[in-house]
Structure 1
Amino acid sequence: MTREDVIAVILGGGRGERLYPLTKDRAKPAVPIAGKFRLIDIPISNCIHAEINRIFVLTQFNSTSLNRHIVRTYHFDMFSNGYIQILAAQQTLESTDWYQGTADAVRQNIRRFLDIGSKYILILSGDQLYRMNYNEMLQKHIDNNAEITVAVLPVDRDQVKELGILKTEYDGRIVEFKEKPQTDEEIASMEIKDGTLEQYGIDSKGRSHVASMGIYIFNSNILKDAIGDKLDFGKHIIPEAIKTRRVYAYYFDGYWRDVGTIRSFYETNLELTKLIPPFDFYDEKQLIYTRPRFLPGSKINSCMVESSILCEGSIMTECIIKNSVIGVRSIINSGAVIENSIIMGADLYDRVKDQCSSATLIGIGRGSIIRNAIIDKNAKIGCNVNIVNEKGLTKFDGDNYSIRDGIVVVHKNAVIPDDTII
């Protein structure tokens, strides 16, 4: 097996409604994570480590910032055959519609993929946080003489109702699929046999089911027939393929998180502030790559900082920061308190010395308090602002901010005037 045998296709996703308002002005894979990265950096970095260097990214909604990030970040050696191509939805003689689902996105570009002549096509999602050796998955696919391989994750029974659940035999062959089973009878019927995980070197730890991770390998010669006129891989293609094709599971037991909702995005980011985080961005052997910005180190002037991530180019003065992620170029002024929050930072610096001489300066103004919130990029928070969800709302949409699951999300480029209470 060589690098020429496989190409990767990263699905850019649809409207990203569950991640709104973070997807109001950007595609899901372009959403920042961990202060300085973007979600698209995760699958691309995994591909680079696996020496899979022919990568396609399928985009549709609000794709400008995603396209710009990829073009600025990833440049392969001109003497190699590597590339990353962005394929936006477009009208053709065969189709005049937007992508109607994950499978439809692949179908509309399938001629381009098959013309390359690779034996295998790796299908990836653009909104997940994990680290995986795709070569190991590909080798299992080959060893099983599989036509399709699905990456699966052991899960507890109480997680089953929110996931696509697969039933496998001892040899890993998938025999049944149910999307988010709800009844006790359905859930019980999808339990894997005792000892299944152990034979793959995985401690079950009481986990009784395996869930699809939305990561697939297809033999190129069956992809077109397998897709047919179906719209979605998880809901349509895999359940149908199980009946007639050799579909196998690749068991994965590392960290994996779908960050497709505001709640999961918020919790995933704050988990990174732990002393020993569940996902390690500090692993030098398997780095996550992103665009180099050539910014100076952060400047911290008489601040109290506890269990937080501070990204480069930030300036913090006489403030308190606890259990938070502070993104690049963040400006946090004196008297500000940031707790359990994500400050995404900025694309540029405002060149005004006094943060409260104007209501339109990027950063966090003096005396402002931000708790349990997400402040999107380039937001301009005035002085003495309280963003604490004072009314305890679960869901709300305003001009400059939204609330999801009780988490206040200040919109990208929003202006919050002095003395505002949210």
Structure 2
Amino acid sequence: MVTTSTSSRCFAPAVAQSQSGINNNSNSSSNNISRRRRTTRRRRVDVTNANANANVNATSSSGGAGVVACLATLSSGRRNHGRRLRLSSSSSSGVVAKAVQVNQEESYASPSPAYAGNGVEPGDLAGQLMMNKTDMQKTVLGVILGGGPGTRLYPLTKKRAKPAVPLGANYRLIDIPVSNCINSGINKMYCLTQFNSASLNRHMSQAYNSIVGGGPAGRGGFVEVLAAQQSPTNPEWFQGTADAVRQYLWLFQAAERDGIENYLILSGDHLYRMDYSDFVETHVRSGADITVSALPCDEKRASAFGLMKIDDTGRIFEFSEKPEGEALKNMQVDTTVLGLDEERAEEMPYIASMGIYVFKTSAMIDLLTKHFPEANDFGSEVIPGANSIGMNIQAFLFDGYWEDIGTIEAFYKSNLALCESGDKLKFSFYDHEFPIYTMSRFLPPSKVIESEITSSVIGDGCVIRHGSKVSNSVVGLRSLIGSNCVVEDALIMGSDYYETMEECELLPGCMPIGLGNGSVVKKCIIDKNARIGHNVQIINKDNVQEANREKEGYIIKDGIVVIIKDSVIPDGTVI
């Protein structure tokens, strides 16, 4: 079975068009209503300006005034039983709403004193919708922490920043948090990094800005890299996650003038799919200063994480970093408080911090500049400190697949897990409603010539020649696998470019990028642009767990052989 993933796809946002008259069952040819339901707790209607204008023209041609009205009825009672919003057209008056996001059950959907001076009358529902606080594009700034030198992922981080490490044949680690933001309606993001940021900067500048609405004709969205820099007030490099945010707080504060009310703090080395709008809405509704995304876990996994204790309202009052023994048992909580069913709550009586936070802007500024100006880390210093001074810190349950892929072993296993199918597949890039975006590379389809491929993921632009066998492996962009090769349980990252024979002949021996004829690679990671000669065996035949052979082009970590980027492994080599 050959699974070929595509390099990039654009999915149009849901569009709600107007209906003729008040009858919601009208099947007018101009109607194109698309509703998207993320969870039973949230009902959201997006109305895009371009399509609304098209509807105006269609209504005008029928002799009406050509103005679209957005009418809504908010339900009362329990939030899981809210009625859908209804859209109808009017021939006399109305408002065209752009990028409106409605959470029906929220009390702040009604006029608020904060907007009293903006000319919104209590009966002007469309005006209220335009001022809705849960509009992610207006009120949330995403801050992705790119991490330090990436020592746990070395040598994959030898020549690139950690968020730029390739993932799943076609992607990079940074694509995960950025795509989650885009799919959640957040279109303003910064990524903080200070090591080898050239490839990350290139990727981010080319991959997302057209999607988030950047440029003079866009919606004011952006995805940018902020590299560490020295200044008279900050002569040091980033000292930790909190210090990285503190050093650029002057820039983030400027966003407050544009309506930013919350900072969404994310990590660049996690694999998961999450709708952050639920997260932010819960944060706003609870009135919290900080909300921490929490992962339910059993006792076996719990000791590997920073754990939290909550009261019966979901407020966090205690933290413990990787506890064991009796200290671990003392961190048990009733996870039904956060929405887990009773059966699973018994199996998973612990909640672990995922390293994902929402901060109220005022709380972030006070914590980093007034209360803890010397603190360097969010998880171990700032957030426990905020608890000690009485700030309201809430937990938000994330009950889905999440994996920290910040180590070689975790990164390797998470990539190979993409080859699974059915119930064993925990994370998939094949979700048309919640896609993972990346840079469009315009590569040709992969070509397989008389080869056998089973349970593998093959990226774009690859060539696999006759007689080769590939099983349970991920083969990245532009990979060249020669004839009669065996690739088993391997992650091959591919190449940054195609190489011509003329270019190859400039090198001694003219060894091309890729895997030479007759080579065997098992349980290994081959980084980009590596040149593996003919009849090479990368099999860790002595079962070595740790070895540093960097001068020879490879390192072994956790029993996994890692071929370093741009390395040359001569013909006949046995590792």
Q: Identify the TM-score tier after normalising by the shorter chain.
A: over 0.9
Q: Gaps spanning 5+ residues in structure 2: where?
A: 1-132
Q: Does 1:293 align with 2:435?
A: no
Q: Which runs of 4+ in 1 moved over 6 A?
A: 353-357
Q: Does 1:402 align with 2:543?
A: no
- Superposed displacement of residue 170, structure 1: 2.3
Partner amino acid, structure 1, of 2:383: I
Deviations 1:296-341 (A, max 9, x none): 1110001011100011100001200000000010000111100000
- Superposed displacement of residue 115, structure 1: 1.5
Alignment match of 2:405 (pick from 259, 262, 282): 259
Q: Is the 8 A contact 1:393 1:403 kept in 2?
A: yes
CA distance in 2 between partners of 1:194 and 1:349 (Å): 52
Q: Is the 8 A contact 1:359 1:418 kept in 2?
A: no
* Local SS of the residue matching 1:162: coil
- Superposed displacement of residue 204, structure 1: 2.8
Partner amino acid, structure 2, of 1:210: I
Alignment match of 2:450 (pick from 285, 302, 314): 302
* Local SS of the residue matching 2:344: coil
* Local SS of the residue matching 1:272: helix
CA distance in 2 between partners of 1:325 and 1:395 (Å): 23
Q: Paired residue for 1:213?
A: 354
TM-score, length-scaled by structure 2: 0.71
Q: Paired residue for 1:96?
A: 235
* Local SS of the residue matching 2:566: coil
Q: Is the 8 A contact 1:326 1:343 kept in 2?
A: yes
TM-score, length-scaled by structure 1: 0.96
Deviations 1:80-132 (A, max 9, x none): 11111211100112111110000000000011101211110000001111111
Q: Which moved more, 1:299-308 or 1:73-82?
A: 73-82
Distance 1:163 1:351, change over 3 A: same
Q: Paired residue for 2:163?
A: 29
**RMSD between aligned alpha carbons?**
1.8
- Superposed displacement of residue 238, structure 1: 1.4
Q: Does 1:413 align with 2:553?
A: no
Q: Paired residue for 1:113?
A: 252
Q: Higher relative CO (CA 8 A, sep ≥ 6), structure 1 or 2?
A: 1
Q: Is the 8 A contact 1:330 1:346 kept in 2?
A: yes
Distance 1:199 1:72, change over 3 A: closer
Q: Which moved more, 1:156-165 or 1:6-15?
A: 156-165
Q: Paired residue for 1:192?
A: 333
Q: Paired residue for 1:316?
A: 464
Return the structure number with greater strand share. 1
Distance 1:218 1:408, change over 3 A: same
CA distance in 2 between partners of 1:327 and 1:340 (Å): 14
CA distance in 2 between partners of 1:265 and 1:43 (Å): 16
Q: Paired residue for 1:350?
A: 499
Alignment match of 1:240 (pick from 362, 373, 385): 385
Deviations 1:235-269 (A, max 9, x none): 11111112210000010011101100000000000
Q: What percentage of residue pairs aligned between the two structures are identical?
A: 44
Distance 1:319 1:115, change over 3 A: same
CA distance in 2 between partners of 1:75 and 1:119 (Å): 22
- Superposed displacement of residue 181, structure 1: 1.1
CA distance in 2 between partners of 1:202 and 1:404 (Å): 38
CA distance in 1 between partners of 2:540 and 2:344 (Å): 41
Alignment match of 2:365 (pick from 224, 227, 232): 224
Alignment match of 1:126 (pick from 262, 268, 273): 268
Q: Paired residue for 1:152?
A: 294
Alignment match of 2:194 (pick from 47, 60, 64): 60
Q: Is the 8 A contact 2:165 2:173 kept in 1?
A: yes
The structure having more radius of gyration, on CA atoms, is: 2
Partner amino acid, structure 1, of 2:285: D
The alignment covers a number of residue pairs equal to 421
Q: Gaps spanning 5+ residues in structure 1: where?
A: none
